[in-house]
Each structure stands twice: as C-alpha cells, then as structure tokens.
Chain A
Amino acid sequence: MITDVSPLLSVRDLTVRFGGVLAVNKVSFDVMPGEVFTLIGPNGAGKTTVFNLISRIYTPTAGSIVYGGALLTEQPAHAVAALGIARTFQNIELFEHASVLQNLLIGRHTHRSTSLLDDLLFTPNARRAALVAREKVEQVIDFLELQRYRDTLIAGLPYGVRKVVELARALCAEPKLLLLDEPSSGLNVEETEGMAFWIDDIRREFGATVLMVEHDMTLVNKVSDRVLAMNQGEVLAMGTPAEVQSHPGVIEAYLGSTGDLSSLRRTP
C-alpha cells in the first residue's frame, strides 16, 4: 500500500454507548482511497453500529470520524450522502411501493439540479435534468443487469434481486465511499460469486472505495484488500484477509478459546 496517500475515511477512538451497553469501544481504522475494506466479526460485534455511526443515524459518545478532511460527526444525517457516501442496509430498506426505476432515481437525489419551482411546473430545465438522471440510472441498470425489472414494483421482487437493486440505488448516487452491509446475506452461492465480481468492477469502473460488513469468508477473501475483525465492540485484528484469519484472537472469537477447552478438561 502507498503510505503517502491520505486516508479517505479515518475513524479514531470511536465509542458509542446505549445505556449500559458499550456497543462500540475505541475503534480506530483508516480506509484508503480505492481499497476494499471489510469489517468482520460475530453477531453483535458492532459492525453495523459502525456503519450507522458513519451514516450519522447514531451519534458517537466519543471519538471522531474524518472523511475527506472534514469532520463527519458534525454533519446532519441527510448531508452525509451529499459528501459522496452511499450505503446499503442489512435488512433491505428499499422504497417498496415504487418501481425499480423510481428507486434508482431516488438514488440520484444528491445530484438534483432543479428547484422546487422547476418541479412544480416541470420546466424545460426539469425535463433536461430528468433525462440526464435517467441516462445515469440506465448505465447502472446496464451494469447490474436489471433491465427486465425496470418497471417492477419492489414489493413483487424476490430477495436476491432486491439486494442487487439496493446496490444499484447506492451506485446511482455515484459515491466516493460505498458502505455495503452484508451484501451477500440471503444470496445463493452463484449470486454471491456474482456479487464478488460486481464489487471488483465497482472499484475499477466507478472508482469507488468500498467499506463492507460481510460474513461470507469466501467473498471477503476474494475482494478485500484489508480486513478488520471486531468482537464485542472492540478491534481484534487488522490486516490482509490471511493475516486476520490466522490471528489467534479472531480464532478465539469465532471458535472459542483453548482456555475454555482446558477448563472443560477434568483435572485430577
């Protein structure tokens, strides 16, 4: 990795406490521009909470998130997207009673160039903007092969397709940083492989940096440059996928410690 490039996202001593629960405890990491950075860890480790902190749904108790030189923690939630951060959700949060096309057009909200008056009267300016937005959306539709679902309501789509639509919606925002919350959950082996190729392509063709939460280690190994393992809100290990997987702390978190085993052994 080139060291003289400044990180795109820099998280320092991030802490959040919900009542008595310390959900995230002093987590620090840097995401470099152009890399795929993955958070792994058992359920309840605080991975999604980190995502929600970055997209400002939660406010951290302590610590800072710096994105592109600006302090993200000072921004309101709706301003995060305008900075070039788009995300997907673990439990798909699409606009259910709208068509795929409308969902993707909503993804272009941060790029809107019309005023309210343009919209009310549908001026030539609004028409032009609508056609430009459509053009961009069609590029994403082509990229993710969603042509046949264009006019289908989300409510009528199978889970796997919804997952792709959500990715598409995030891509429509032309993000610099893409947050993917378990992109492969609920997908079959084949669809997961497709997802791996897409993540690779997103990085190359769209030039986006990807931060993702993922459980499927095959996918993690295939696409990640660096991996951060968390457990119970704390950082266990950080490094290449291979390094992290062989880290004793990570093995302990997933499989239980050898100490536990010895305690089960009957001692004379």
Chain B
Amino acid sequence: MRFIFKTSYAQDISLARHEGHRFWYAVLGVLLVASPWLLPEYWLAQLTFVLIYAVVGLGLMLLAGFTGLFSIGHAAFLGVGAYTQAVLTNAGLPFPLALACAGGLSALVGIVVGLPALRVKGIYLGIATLSFGFIVEEVLARWESVTGGNAGMHVKNPVLFGADLGSGTAFYFICLAVCVGATLIIVNLLRSPTGRAFVAIRDSEISAQSMGIHLAYYKTLSFAISAALAGLGGALYAHKIKFLSPDQFNIIQSIDLLLMVVIGGLGSVHGAFLGAIFLITMPQLISAAKDVLPPAVGQAPGLQSLVYGLVLIAFVLFEPMGLYGRWLKVRTFFSVFPFYRKGLFKRQKSFQKSDRLR
C-alpha cells in the first residue's frame, strides 16, 4: 500500500500525484508514440478510432458525468463537427483551420441546445436532446446542396502545408495530439473553479446557487465545451471514415456514446477512455465469437444489439461505477491485500437530501 506524504498544497493540484503515476503514464506515452511501428495497420486504425471516440467521450463525460446533464442526442454534435470538417476540407481549407471551425460551430450549436437545459431536468432534458438529435439527422439528410443528403459525401484527406496527412500513421499522430490536448483541458478544468462549479451543479443545484454559482452560465458552458469536443471528435471521425452519411449520426450512435460513458464509469476521466476501448473492441469480440458459436446463435440478426443491451443492464445493476470503478476495486484489492472487504466501496444510502425547494 502506498502512503503519500504531503508537504505542500501544490501536490494536490499536480497532474501526477506520485512516482507511480509518473512512471506508468510515461510507459503509456511511449507505447502510444511507438504503436505505429508496433501494431499492424488494422489495429492501428482501431486505436485511432479509440482516440477519436475518447475525445467525444471526454466531452460527454464532462456533461453527463461531471455536470449531471444527460444528452441523448450527442451524435448530433458529432455530425455537425464531421460535416463542417468535410465541407470545409473539400473546399480547400487547411486542416487545423477546418478543425477549429468544426469545434467552434459545434460549440455554438451546443449553446443553443444548452438553453432548454436551463429549464428542464433529468428525463425531460433527455427528451429535448433526443429530439434535437433527430432534427440534426433530418437536416443532414435534407440539406442536399451542402451535405449530399442520403447519398452521402466523400471527405478529402487532411492537408497541411501541402503535405497529405491522410496516411494511417500521420493521421494517428494527429488524433493522438488532439486527444492528449482534450484530456489536458478536461483535467485542468476539473482542478479549477470552473470544474468544481460543474460538480456542484451535479450534486445540488440549490446549494450551488447559494454558493454564488451562476447556474445558467455554467450549464451552458458545460454544453458548449462538451459539444466542442464532440465536434472535434466528429471532424477526426470524418477524415478517418472518409465517407459521411446522415445515418452515421442517428440515435443508435447517440446511445452508443452514452453507453460508452456509462460503461466506462460516470464521473471519471479514465472512464471515457475505458468506454472508448470497450465501444471499439466489443464489435470485434462479437464477430470473433460468431465464428465459434453455433450458427443458430452466431448468425442471429441483432446479436450485437442484444449483447450491448445485456452488458449495459449488467453494468447498471452490478457495477454502477463502470469499468473504472471495477479497476479501482481490483487495484484496492491488491494494495490492501489481504484486508479487502466486500463492502469497502458500498455507498452509504442517505435519506436526508431533499429536492423540495425546486
């Protein structure tokens, strides 16, 4: 077991809390930088998708996990980012500029969608964002002069200073850079007053307000940052997948994104990454299992949806803290061995909180 001896307040706000953190994150960094030479092309592409989804997941984590606002229409922001990137790149705009526009436009749309969030809560916010998702999908399908409608749209390779960045390796590094940047921004937010204001709103709006937190401002801000990250992820997604059509940004995609943060572990930055890994590897595992399973089961239509559904139910029932929560338990088991108790992570139920002032 590790005991950290704290001698300065700066220790509590530094990114790496102890030597172990520094060592393992350095190892992870080296592996990520070396992976184009370590992994075969197919798995590098999958890793790129993990990074892209992680960027989107970080945004949704900020909104759902840290601000407590659930969006069931997040694929719409992904779509806005992807199509903005596609249209601007195809028009010849340099890659970084198009990326900034994609993020910026998504953020603007996020602010607009965030406005109903100031009035509605919980399930009603879910319905509002859900219908917003449908609206965007419909716009993408009908606005044929810009998006190409249901026929879809090809996306040109990203170009910077005349260099084509469309190759697997080059684009992997772009995604890695964006992902690291997004992670740093989220981590920075969470250790500063803005991030704490989000957490305060999640846990008790009434007392957040009495602490001087402007609910409307911070909720809108959370929506904007979350949408911007989804837009950035969407822009990268557009380049990676090279062909866009409106049905990539439908409700199934929104639910996948929500699934990602819930299974990863709501309220943890690690959860966004674990969720992204889950979301990308799960279809691979299922298709691998298809060959092994008897044809009656393996070839059954809707197998993937069934597995996803079961996994989600299982997590909600048995591991509400998600994959990250499970990891914490495993780690604690080893670090306090042999003193781990079953109830160590059990949450104490409290019955004294009331919402009656709302």
Contacts and interface: CB of A to CB of B under 8 A. Distances in A.
Interface stretch (B90-98, B125-133, B205-213): B205-213
A133 B208 CA distance: 17
Interface core residue of A52, A78, A91, A133 (most chain B CB under 10 Å): A78
A112 interface: yes
Query: How many B residues touch the partner, as a band?
Result: 35 or more
Contacts of A135: 9
Interface in A166-215: 169, 173
A98 B209 contact: no
Interface stretch (B25-33, B192-200, B237-245): B192-200
Given A57-B357, A109-B197, A122-B191, A98 B203 contact: yes
B145 interface: no
A110 interface: yes
A106 B208 CA distance: 8
Contacts of B13: 127, 130-131, 134
Nearest to A89: B207
Interface string A50-87: 00100101000000000000000000011111100011
A17 interface: no
Contacts of B7: none
Given A57-B206, A109-B197, A120 B189 contact: yes
A62 B206 CA distance: 23
B322 to A, nearest CB: 14
Nearest to B187: A122
Contacts of A131: 9-10, 13
A119 B189 contact: yes
A122 B188 contact: yes
Interface residues of A, number: 50
A260 interface: no
Contact of A109 (B12, B188, B206, B212): B212
Contacts of A126: 188, 192
A96 interface: yes
Given A109-B213, A110-B211, A116 B194 contact: yes
Interface string B170-200: 0000000000000001001101111111011
A123 to B, nearest CB: 9
B347 interface: yes
B354 interface: yes
Interface core residue of B193, B202, B267, B353 (most chain A CB under 10 Å): B193
A248 B117 CA distance: 51
B9 A96 contact: no
B345 to A, nearest CB: 10
A77 B210 contact: yes
Nearest to B194: A119
B193 A134 contact: no
B286 interface: no
A80 B9 CA distance: 30
B210 A114 contact: no
Contacts of B211: 81, 86, 106-107, 109-110, 169, 173
B87 interface: no
Given A52-B357, A131-B10, A173-B212, A109 B221 contact: no
Nearest to A132: B9
A211 to B, nearest CB: 14
22 contacts: A52-B357, A77-B209, A80-B210, A87-B210, A91-B353, A92-B352, A96-B353, A97-B199, A106-B199, A106-B208, A109-B197, A109-B213, A114-B192, A116-B194, A116-B221, A122-B192, A129-B193, A130-B13, A130-B192, A134-B9, A138-B9, A156-B348
Given A96-B353, A109-B211, A155-B348, 5 more contacts: A78-B215, A87-B210, A93-B204, A95-B204, A127-B13
Interface of B: 9-10, 12-13, 185, 188-189, 191-197, 199-200, 202-204, 206-215, 221, 267, 347-348, 350, 352-354, 357
